[in-house]
Each structure stands twice: as C-alpha cells, then as structure tokens.
Chains A and B, each alone.
Chain A
C-alpha cells in the first residue's frame, strides 16, 4: 500500500522568501510522484510530476521538486514566493499498475505574507 505524509499542515513565508513544502512517501514499488495545487474554490491543478526520469523536476510557476529515493522524499521548492502562490498544495503518489489510483497527502496550506 502507498501513503503520503506532508510535514506541516500550514506554512507561512514572506513574499520573496524561499518556499519549501515537504512530502515523504511510502511505496512498495517504484512510485510516480506528483504535486498538485488547489486555489480557493477551484479544482486541483498539476504543478509537476516525477516519473523515473530526471530526479529534479521543474514545474509551472517556478516550482521544482527533487526525488530522493534514499530519503523517500519529494519536497517542493520555489526560490522566491509570490502572493499568488497562496494555496493548498497536495503531494500524491501512484504506482505503475494498470488500474492505478492516486493517493494524496493531507495537504499543506501555504500563506504568503507581504
């Protein structure tokens, strides 16, 4: 069975500061990993995904994440936070099976302070 943990249900950063959102996963098979963002009153949008190619993955809006197998982590970073980054961020893992489902972490709410 797969699972995802996200350390910190709420993270606050100042505008222009580094954003670091943590994600650790558990999977019995090589995983595919995803970060989704949910803006208020909206659905889930994909930020980036890891699918066993490059371990450093670049996504939209300046976000990137690094897959570290030894640490079972897939932390999301952005060098400089913008006010528009305030949202809920979900890490998700899926297996490589045919009828795969995605298991989501509990989410981290990012607040960006002026």
Chain B
C-alpha cells in the first residue's frame, strides 16, 4: 500500500526556535493535512491544504504556524517560534480526490520543545 512519509521521526528543539516538519504525501493525492496529538490526548486537526492554499484551519493553527508545498512532492509545517506547549506528535495525512476517500497518515514526528 502507498505510504505517507514524515521526517524526522523525532525533533528536539529549544523554546523560541523555528522548526520545519517535513512530509511526502502519496504521489497522486491532492488534499493534505496536518494533525497533532499531545501525549495522552486526542488527535487534533490543524490545517488542510488543497490547490496550493489552505482550505481550512483550526484555532490551534495561529500565526506561529505555516504550511507550504515547496515542490511537487513535499508538504511542510513550520512553527516559527516554538513554545513548550507545542510538544506533541505531529501527523501528516493525505487523500485522493474522492469525497469518501480515507486519509492516509504518516507515522508522525515527535516534537519535543525544551
């Protein structure tokens, strides 16, 4: 089965630093998502992306966050100035064009902000 890949698997950073989490969605998918999961809590929607623009974002996705599709294969999440509470597992997901299609998730990037 095709896979969404995320790098790195674990990122450690100092508070206030910028981080970029990288994702390679499945090649023919057009919808891209970022979710996060704080340890022991539910999976929370951050942002969805389609046709080179954000289609929807949650309250969590404030001005510190941005997403980009810099080329035809990568999809990145940037956190400009990390805070302690940004520590979480970040999941990238993608899906095809059918409205009932499932999300394919990557294995996640564990972000630890010290």
Physical interaction between A and B: yes
- A interface list, Cβ under 8 A from B: 32, 34, 36, 42-46, 49, 51-52, 90, 96-107
Q: Which residues of A contact B73 (CB under 8 A)?
A: none
User: Does B48 sit within 8 A of A, measured CB to CB?
Assistant: yes
Q: Is the Cβ of B48 less than 8 Å from the Cβ of A42?
A: no
Contact A45 B43 (CB under 8 A): no
Please, how many residues of chain B have a CB less than 8 angstroms from a CB on the other chain? 23
Identify 29 residue pairs between A and B in the complex whose beta-carbon atoms are under 8 Å apart, listed by A's number: A32-B99, A34-B102, A34-B103, A43-B105, A43-B106, A43-B107, A44-B43, A44-B91, A46-B103, A49-B100, A51-B100, A90-B42, A96-B100, A97-B99, A98-B50, A98-B55, A98-B99, A99-B31, A99-B50, A99-B55, A99-B56, A102-B93, A102-B103, A103-B45, A104-B42, A104-B44, A105-B42, A106-B42, A107-B42
Dominant secondary structure at the B interface: strand
> Does B33 touch A at the CB level, under 8 Å?
yes
* Separation of A51 and B99 alpha carbons in the complex (Å): 9
B61 to chain A, nearest CB (A): 11
